[in-house]
Amino acid sequence: MNQHIKCLSCAVRTQALCSAIGDEAASDLARIVHRIRVPEGRVISAAPQNATSYSIIISGVVKLVNTRSDGRHQIAGLQFPADFVGRPFSNTSNLSAEAATDLELCSFSGRAFEDLLGQHPDLEHALFQRVLRDLDSAREWMFLLGCKSAEEKVASFLCMIAEKMGQAAHPRLPTNDCTMLILPLSRTEIAECLSLRLETVSRQFTILKARGIIETRGRRQFRVRDMGALKAYSEAQALSA
């Protein structure tokens, strides 16, 4: 193993892109990587003229934001630890990537990474797999945006966050545990994710709390008390019986 020394103790080494490629590609990758920290709120790559760079998230959450000239904007996706951030082979995307929380990243400069993609089919293959999964989840999210009620949207969101943040906090525990978790997004950001207004999100939080399904502490912590009920609400509003 001639990987970069830091990789051996990396928190996401078993799930990230770099675990799915050969030693040669891995050591070439390690050669061009920079481990960096990014504070909450910083834009990683701005649309539409994004000076391309690519990253693997070590810790923190990145939001992919679609902004329009008229001021409307929407979060088109969230990326969590081990996820890849960046749009290879094009910089004309409407999306910008922003740090939703403080981040630790493995960052690669644009050209160098794209050259490696050309040299190592296994690296490109691993990235391809990841992009396919991003596409699956984008299409899944379209269903949420298009078909679900406010109640279902908020419940679905909390399920997803519980799973992802639970995984980030305790990589090996099952998702239905009841520990306090950090909410990586403000109410406004949650609203932008779900295509709701923050007032609507807030009201749904209140209802879920009243039902004893979730608990909150301060603005940024929550705990799922009944994952079964939360999942039920996330799939069908008509469980009112």
Partner DNA sequence: CGATGACTTGACTGAGTTCAAAAGCTGTGG
Partner DNA sequence: CCACAGCTTTTGAACTCAGTCAAGTCATCG
The contact pattern for DNA, residues 140-179, with x = CB under 7 A and - = no contact, is ---------xxx----------------------------
Strand, coil or helix: 34? strand
Residues, the chain, total?
Answer: 241
For residue 179, the partner it binds in a copy of itself, DNA, none, with Cβ less than 5 to 8 A by kind, is none
For residue 151, the partner it binds in DNA, a copy of itself, none, with Cβ less than 5 to 8 A by kind, is DNA
Give the whole-angstrom CA distance, residue 153 versus residue 195: 9
Parallel, antiparallel, or unpaired for β 33-38 and 103-109? antiparallel
Instruction: Please report whether residue 199 would count as binding DNA according to CB under 7 A.
Output: yes
Whether the CA torsion 205, 208, 211, 214 is positive or negative: it is negative
Of 91 and 216, which has the nearer Cβ to DNA? Answer: 216
Strand, coil or helix: 33? strand
Give the whole-angstrom CA distance, residue 68 versus residue 90: 19
**Residue from 68, 139, 172, 219 binding DNA (CB under 7 A):** 219
Instruction: Please report whether residue 137 would count as binding DNA according to CB under 7 A.
Output: no
Asked if residue 221 lies in contact with residue 183, where contact means CB atoms within 8 angstroms, the answer is yes
Q: Please report, as ranges, the residues that interact with a copy of itself according to CB under 8 A.
A: 64, 66, 68, 70, 72-74, 76-77, 87-90, 93-95, 121, 124-125, 127-129, 131-132, 134-136, 138-143, 145-147, 195, 235-236, 238
